[in-house]
Amino acid sequence: MSLNGILNTSLSGLFTNQSAIRVTSNNIANVNTEGYARNRVVTESQILQGASAGVNISEIQRVVDRFLEGALRTAGSNTAEYSVQREFHDRLQGVLGDPASGSSLSARIDDIFSAVSDLALNPADVLRRQQSLSEIESFTDQINLFQQQIQNLRAEASQQISETVNDINSELQRIAELNPLLVRQKATGGETGGLEGQLGQSLNKLAELVDIKVDRLPSGGVTIATQSGYPLFDSSLTQLDYDAPGVVDGSTQFPKINIHHVDGDTLAQTSSSKNFTQHIRSGKLAGLLAMRDEQLVDLSLSLGELSARVMDEFNAVQNQFSAVPAPNTMTGKQTIVDGGHATGFSGVVTFAVVDASNDLVQKVTVDFDSAPPADFDALISQVNTALGGAGTLSLTNGVMSFSAANSANGVVIADDVTTPSDRGGRGFSHYFGMNDLLSASSPGIYDTGLIGTETHGMGATETMSFKVVSATGAELDTVTLTVGSNSTFNNMVTALNNGATGLGNYFNFTLGADGEMTYAPTSTYSGIKLEVISDNTSIGGTGSTGDTGVTFTQAFGIGDNHHVNAAKDIELKPAIKSDPNLLALSVFDTSAAIGEVVLTDGDQRGALAFQQLETSLVSFAAAGELKSSSVTLSQYVARFLGNAGLQAQRAQNLEEDNIALQQEVAQRNADVSGVNMDEELANLVVYQNAYSAAARVLSSVQELYDNLLAVV
């Protein structure tokens, strides 16, 4: 080999080991940098004309295990999903409090029955009446608080979704900036380790926000898709958008998370938006969606069911008895009843007017079994005629009212003890809410008592629009149903079950014996949900009593919001709250003649009936994660609180499990990619010695050149 060849060989060794020392020093400098993967110098022998001509760096390689790298991103995505759920459940548990504390919902309902038990000892005591009402109000206030806080948490989840979407967009923009630089470096043979490290950090951050899988291209770049295969970054940049609503309640319909392509420089939208929600499987975004649309909704539904049954049970007792003195007027709640329809009641009920001394002024007994009125118009006429002007029963736009003509008199509606009136499982006064104790935004129970062959009175051009949503959030279909010639409720059920023009492909609708409408997904579409987009229908309008103004979906509680809102604004009736004497505790004597005493102040039978609610079994419908069951009110309160605690514990356990898995994968990944100081120092010694040796060779060649020149 010539001196020039030796010189070039030594120089190649000098430069190669100099670069290796630089790479090693960079590894050492980043020993504590999170997510840093060490670089390794890969050398190859230079061959010129078949002869060895030194050494060359073929690649500065970033040491990674692609499988572990992907597994770490997946673990990070799952951990982020359950971490955000655990945070929300922690906040919710802070609102619900300790179930064993004296201020818990369980303690509140126990306090109600304790106060009612005390009231039964002396029903005429105003202070004891006030205490009972105060305990009921404390319970309803807590229901309202829970309902509002659950909706507030849904609003917070929605806002965090908006922030997370912005973070995803930022990371996608960063990846779009790094990708062409990486391709250029690889094409020119430059070092890619630094860019790979920055790209890896962005990918890890993105994976915590939404589930991703990364494909490496031969050119050095990457493409990114969700685990379901939907592209997030390929040949062009995509961006997400989500507009969080300002106010959230049980009826809020949240917008979709959309995705579209944008110009890489201006970020201007270059394609139509598509629904991205259905492609989200894990990550913080999935956790927030699960809280907003599933777990918090489940809790609000079970809270609504609790509130509805509490209202129904307490109102049943309040309507069974009468206040002393009897109220001058009783006005019921909104119903779907109009004058032109059959009453649908069985049993016997008495309408009466009493004076200030609790003596009977006038009464009329209606037997729905042996001599039923033809319809509600006939019932009203029969009652008013028999009362002879002493009292007036009326039905206006679905609201029943009963008033005494003399302002000093009161009115009573009393069921027969042996054969009480009944429609949809409720007596006359209870069905119309004539003497209710509690009210809320929605009743929560929809046993209408109607018969399927009844005409509904809706207009032919009136419509209802529905959205069918899959378990993953995909919009499967939107259906608009026009009333048309479907004149009866049975016709409407048939129209809803129509597969071509209705919802029959997705749900089976059924009208039950008590006039309740139920619907369940078909076997083909398990887990789907039905959302009501709009409803401009109005039930009623037959007879002389006017249109009820109640929509079809509202009448039957179609849509989660009607059941959720049973826990919204639940309260004592203002009149009863301000006057404890209106608490109905006395039994009306249906056998008394005119002029005889029919109500007794101090009658304890109403208080005893309220007290019996503590041990009475109540049929609860399935709501959220709670299955249908027959339990006491207190037991259902305990189930509701227990379910909330179970959800919190489940989120915590899943977070802990995934953190452990993430740490294990991270450790294995660090074993492969992490910087080992001993190894790097050993490499440094090797590269230093190799550098020194190459320098010695270079020095020796220099001496030989000097000697040759001296000879010349």
Distance CA 507, CA 512 (A): 16
Element (H, E) at 574: helix 574-578
Q: Is the peptide bond before 325 cis (omega within 30 degrees of 0)?
A: yes
Rg (CA), the chain: 38
State the pLDDT confidence band at 60, using cuts at 50, 70 and 90: confident
DSSP label of 270:
-
The answer, yes or no, to whether residue 1 has pLDDT greater than 60, is: no
Alpha-carbon distances of 667 from 35, 59, 70, 402, 530, rounded to whole Å: 11, 26, 14, 76, 45
Q: Which of 494, 523, 556 is the last residue of a domain?
A: 556
Within-domain flag for 293: no
What residue has token string 């770049």?
221
Query: H helices within 362-516, ranges in order?
Result: 376-387, 428-432, 489-496
The answer, yes or no, to whether residue 336 has pLDDT greater than 80, is: yes
Cβ atoms < 10 Å from Cβ of 4: 10
Strands 213-216 and 51-62: unpaired
Q: Is there a single domain that holds both residue 330 and residue 402?
A: yes
Label each residue of 408-430 as H, E or C. CCEEEEEECCCCECEECCECHHH
Q: How many domains does the chain have?
A: 3
Alpha-carbon distances of 114 from 135, 195, 274, 320, 512, rounded to whole Å: 9, 70, 57, 21, 37
In 3-state terms, what secondary structure has residue 269?
A: strand
Q: Point out which residues pair with 44 in neighbouring strands.
A: 56
State the pLDDT confidence band at 712, using cuts at 50, 70 and 90: low
Which residue, among 8, 20, 41, 10, has the nearest Cα to 687 in the 3D structure? Answer: 20
452, 390 Cβ separation under 8 angstroms: no
Q: Is there a single domain that holds both residue 517 and residue 416?
A: no
Q: Output the pLDDT for position 27.
A: 77
In 3-state terms, what secondary structure has residue 597?
A: strand
Q: Is there a single domain that holds both residue 420 and residue 489?
A: no
Q: Which of 392, 415, 434 is the last residue of a domain?
A: 434
353, 390 Cβ separation under 8 angstroms: yes
Q: Output the pLDDT for position 421.
A: 97
Label each residue of 299-310 as H, E or C. HHHHHHHHHHHH
State the pLDDT confidence band at 472, using cuts at 50, 70 and 90: confident
State the pLDDT confidence band at 545, using cuts at 50, 70 and 90: low
Q: Output the pLDDT for position 541.
A: 67
Q: Mean pLDDT for the chain?
A: 91
Q: What is the DSSP string of 237-265?
A: BEEEE----SS--TT--PPP-EEEEB-TT
Q: 395 versus 9: which is more confidently predicted?
A: 395
Q: Is there a single domain that holds both residue 430 and residue 487?
A: no
The answer, yes or no, to whether residue 544 has pLDDT greater than 70, is: no
Distance CA 506, CA 367 (A): 43
The answer, yes or no, to whether residue 543 has pLDDT greater than 70, is: no
Token code pair at residue 670: 């660090």
Q: Output the pLDDT for position 136.
A: 97
**What is the separation, in whole angstroms, between the first and last Cα of the chain?**
21
What residue has token string 């006030």?
130
Is residue 539 classed exposed, middle or buried when 0-12, 13-18 and 19+ CB atoms within 10 A define those classes? buried
Q: Is there a single domain that holds both residue 417 and residue 337?
A: yes
Cβ atoms < 10 Å from Cβ of 668: 15
557, 517 Cβ separation under 8 angstroms: yes
Which residue, among 576, 116, 136, 128, has the nearest Cα to 323 in the 3D structure? Answer: 576
514, 425 Cβ separation under 8 angstroms: yes
What residue has token string 């109607």?
450
State the pLDDT confidence band at 677, using cuts at 50, 70 and 90: confident
DSSP label of 57:
E
Phi/psi at 91 (5° precision) = -65, -40
Which residue, among 394, 311, 322, has the nearest Cα to 573 in the 3D structure? Answer: 311
- Give me the amino acid identity at 599: L
208-236 pLDDT per residue, tens: 999 999 998 888 889 999 999 999 998 78
Token code pair at residue 416: 């027969």
State the pLDDT confidence band at 618, using cuts at 50, 70 and 90: very high
Cβ atoms < 10 Å from Cβ of 593: 9
132-174 pLDDT per residue, tens: 999 999 999 999 999 999 999 999 999 999 999 999 999 999 9
Q: Is there a single domain that holds both residue 331 and residue 428?
A: yes
292-316 pLDDT per residue, tens: 999 999 999 999 999 999 999 999 9
Cβ atoms < 10 Å from Cβ of 51: 9
Within-domain flag for 593: no
Distance CA 664, CA 65 (A): 15
Q: Which of 530, 556, 582 is the last residue of a domain?
A: 556
241-256 pLDDT per residue, tens: 999 998 999 989 899 9
435, 413 Cβ separation under 8 angstroms: yes
> What CATH number has the domain bearing residue 420?
2.60.40
Within-domain flag for 346: yes
Q: Is there a single domain that holds both residue 422 and residue 517?
A: no
Sequence-ordered list of residues with C-beta below 8 angstroms from that of 552, at least 6 positions apart, any chain: 456, 458, 464, 492, 535, 537, 539, 558
Within-domain flag for 21: yes
Within-domain flag for 630: no
Token code pair at residue 161: 């979704």
184-200 pLDDT per residue, tens: 887 877 777 778 888 88
The answer, yes or no, to whether residue 701 has pLDDT greater than 80, is: no
Domain that holds residue 59: 3-63+674-711
Q: What is the mean pLDDT of residues 473-496?
A: 94
Query: H helices within 471-535, ranges in order?
Result: 489-496
Token code pair at residue 76: 């990070």
Distance CA 389, CA 211 (A): 73
Distance CA 353, CA 322 (A): 12
Q: Is there a single domain that holds both residue 9 and residue 59?
A: yes
Q: Output the pLDDT for position 679.
A: 80
Within-domain flag for 266: no
Within-domain flag for 639: no
Within-domain flag for 42: yes
Q: Is there a single domain that holds both residue 535 and residue 475?
A: yes
Q: What share of the chain has pLDDT > 70, as a percent?
A: 98
Q: 706 versus 389: which is more confidently predicted?
A: 389
Which residue, among 530, 539, 471, has the nearest Cα to 502 in the 3D structure? Answer: 530
Query: H helices within 428-546, ranges in order?
Result: 428-432, 489-496
CA dihedral 701, 704, 705, 710 (to 10 degrees): 160
Please tell me whether the overall predicted TM-score, pTM, comes out greater than 0.85 for this model: yes
Token code pair at residue 603: 């009658």
Q: Is there a single domain that holds both residue 420 and residue 499?
A: no
Alpha-carbon distances of 434 from 291, 302, 332, 438, 456, rounded to whole Å: 39, 27, 4, 11, 23
Is residue 385 classed exposed, middle or buried when 0-12, 13-18 and 19+ CB atoms within 10 A define those classes? exposed
Q: Is there a single domain that holds both residue 426 and residue 473?
A: no
Q: Output the pLDDT for position 47.
A: 75
Q: Output the pLDDT for position 682.
A: 86
Distance CA 619, CA 617 (A): 7
Q: Is there a single domain that holds both residue 516 and residue 475?
A: yes
396, 335 Cβ separation under 8 angstroms: no
